[in-house]
């Protein structure tokens, strides 16, 4: 048996502002943006540049219950982990793009890490893993 996680749904308030943030601030690629008339919604998928793995489905909250979780899908814990081959390149680019870091870069046994917020407040790790990790 072979399985994989294809998409992770991220609840957002607005498709276009989320696309703008992920493509302009984080330099992600817009993989798909398709209107689904039967459900009156869009299928919007983004991914880090040159990524071959899991993508993010930007899912607009359509109910009040869903809106409560925008920006806090994991109760304040780090939600997503963005791995990079060059921490300082990406960190400096993100700072210049006005990404808010809530925990400064630090060296750990497994690599270099810092925590940032997305446009809604979800917490992400930016991390470069050590070669032997």
* Whole-number pLDDT of residue 113: 98
Query: CA–CA separation, 97 vs 55, rounded Å?
Result: 22
Measured at the alpha carbon of residue 98, what is the angle toward residues 77 and 49, in degrees to the nearest 5? Answer: 75
On average, the pLDDT of the chain sits at 96
- Residues 57, 87, 93, 70, Cα dihedral to 10°: 30
Cα–Cα distances (Å) from 38 to 22, 24, 32, 60, 103, in that order, read 26, 30, 18, 15, 43
State pLDDT tens for residues 36-75.
Answer: 999 999 999 999 999 989 999 999 999 999 999 999 999 9
Q: What is the pLDDT of residue 101?
A: 98
Tell me what the mean pLDDT of segment 100-127 comes to.
97
Binning pLDDT at 50, 70 and 90, where does residue 116 land?
very high
Q: Quick one: average pLDDT of 29-40?
A: 96
Domains and CATH numbers, the chain: 1-69 (3.10.180.10), 71-133 (3.10.180.10)
pLDDT at 133: 57
Distance CA 100, CA 94 (A): 8
pLDDT at 131: 84
The model's pTM is: 0.93
């Amino acid at each position: 048996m072979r399985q994989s996680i294809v998409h992770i749904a991220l609840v957002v308030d607005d498709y276009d502002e989320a696309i703008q943030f992920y493509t302009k601030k984080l330099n992600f690629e817009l993989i798909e943006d398709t209107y689904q008339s039967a459900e009156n919604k869009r299928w919007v998928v983004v991914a880090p540049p040159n990524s071959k793995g899991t993508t993010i489905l930007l899912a607009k909250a359509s109910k009040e219950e869903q809106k409560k979780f925008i920006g806090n899908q994991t109760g304040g814990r780090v939600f997503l982990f963005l791995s990079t081959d060059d921490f300082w390149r990406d960190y400096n680019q993100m700072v210049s793009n006005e990404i808010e870091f809530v925990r400064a870069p630090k060296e750990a046994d497994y690599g270099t890490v810092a925590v940032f917020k997305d446009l809604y407040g979800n917490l992400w790790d930016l991390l470069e893993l050590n070669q032997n990790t």
